[in-house]
């Protein structure tokens, strides 16, 4: 089977449209401007991997036919990346096994707070069940397949991206050290996040993500985790998917929910 990434969600923490907002992006009728919270499903040499499990996981799993997973890889513990974890209960029932998770120790601490009921000594029947593997910056294997963590900073929070074969997925960062960029040579697909135009305290801006994508120079780079703050009123740019796509340099693309790319 071909290796592929499906973008399950490509929106920032509020999703797009944002509740109560009527800006040009939030009122767009283009389905590519409807963005659930950021997550991706990866098929790699037979593995079925989910990166992050945000609040829209149930809808994303249903609409993409996800019925079993070999593992969830967490990038960090923010709610927009972990808020759907209770819904893996369905996978536990259907497949009669706990859900395998790979994450850092600090992410596990966050999960234990958020889902305390699943970590007690005598949990209530029916709570989600996990098989947790703690990782750090060192490469690790899932069923013999090598995964290379990529360390990045999300303001003051260290987070992980993942290189999986010729794909790298990195979201929620605003700093990537040179030695990590070294690990990103020869990529077919690079996924980077950009939250809005102009500087942000904890995320790459659109401009920064494009510049980093050009530097990494994967064959194709996809931008995810977008907010609705993409308009440029003085230039009459509404900031929709179509607008943003038109201004991307060759090889850089604006991702959208449901997009599937081979690597």
Instruction: Check binding of 180 to Zn ion (CB under 5 A).
Output: no
Among 170, 228, 241, 255, binds Zn ion (CB under 5 A): 228
- Considering the complex, what minimum distance in angstroms separates the CB of residue 81 from Zn ion? 6
- Count CB atoms within 10 A of the CB of residue 195: 24
The Cα 29–Cα 40 span in angstroms is: 23
Among 52, 80, 104, 257, binds Zn ion (CB under 5 A): 80
Cα dihedral across residues 98, 99, 104, 108: positive or negative: negative
Burial zone of 148 (CB within 10 Å; 0-12 exposed, 13-18 middle, 19+ buried): middle
Instruction: Check binding of 56 to Zn ion (CB under 5 A).
Output: no
Instruction: Check binding of 241 to Zn ion (CB under 5 A).
Output: no
On whether the CB atoms of residues 209 and 223 are closer than 8 A, the answer is yes
Q: Which helix (H) or strand (E) holds 111?
A: helix 105-114
Q: Which helix (H) or strand (E) holds 169?
A: strand 167-169
- Considering the complex, what minimum distance in angstroms separates the CB of residue 96 from Zn ion? 32
- Considering the complex, what minimum distance in angstroms separates the CB of residue 225 from Zn ion? 6
Instruction: Check binding of 172 to Zn ion (CB under 5 A).
Output: yes
- Considering the complex, what minimum distance in angstroms separates the CB of residue 107 from Zn ion? 11
Q: Is 236 left (phi over 0), alpha (psi -120 to 50) or beta?
A: left
Cβ proximity to Zn ion, 3 vs 38, nearer residue = 38
- Residues in Cβ contact with 250 at an 8 Å cutoff, skipping those fewer than 6 apart: none
- Considering the complex, what minimum distance in angstroms separates the CB of residue 95 from Zn ion? 28
On whether the CB atoms of residues 133 and 100 are closer than 8 A, the answer is yes
Instruction: Check binding of 153 to Zn ion (CB under 5 A).
Output: no
Cβ proximity to Zn ion, 56 vs 80, nearer residue = 80
- Considering the complex, what minimum distance in angstroms separates the CB of residue 69 from Zn ion? 20
Instruction: Check binding of 208 to Zn ion (CB under 5 A).
Output: no
Cβ proximity to Zn ion, 23 vs 90, nearer residue = 23
**Site residues for Zn ion per CB under 5 A:** 21, 23, 26, 78, 80, 172, 228
């Amino acid at each position: 089977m071909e290796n592929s990434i499906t973008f399950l969600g490509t929106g920032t923490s509020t999703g797009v449209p944002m509740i109560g907002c009527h800006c040009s992006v939030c009122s767009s009728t283009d389905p590519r401007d409807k963005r659930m919270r950021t997550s991706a499903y990866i098929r790699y040499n037979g593995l079925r991997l989910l990166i992050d499990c945000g609040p829209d996981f149930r809808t994303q799993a249903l609409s993409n036919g996800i019925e079993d997973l070999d593992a969830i890889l967490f990038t960090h513990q923010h709610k927009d990346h972990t808020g759907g974890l209770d819904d893996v209960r369905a996978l536990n029932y259907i497949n009669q096994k706990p859900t395998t998770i790979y994450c850092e120790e600090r992410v596990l601490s966050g999960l234990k707070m958020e889902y305390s009921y699943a970590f007690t000594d005598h949990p209530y029947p029916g709570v989600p069940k996990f098989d947790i593997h703690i990782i750090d910056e060192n490469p690790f294997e899932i069923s013999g397949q090598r995964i290379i963590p990529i360390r990045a900073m999300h303001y003051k929070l260290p987070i992980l991206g993942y290189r999986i074969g010729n794909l790298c997925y990195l979201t929620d960062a605003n700093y990537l050290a040179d030695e990590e960029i070294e690990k990103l040579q020869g990529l077919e697909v690079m996924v980077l996040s950009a939250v809005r135009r102009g500087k942000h305290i904890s995320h790459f801006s659109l401009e920064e993500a494009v510049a980093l994508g050009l530097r990494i120079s994967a064959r194709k780079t996809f931008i995810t985790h977008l907010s609705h703050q993409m308009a440029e009123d003085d230039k009459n740019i509404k900031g929709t998917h179509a607008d943003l796509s038109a201004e991307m340099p060759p090889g850089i693309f604006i991702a959208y929910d449901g997009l599937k790319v081979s690597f």
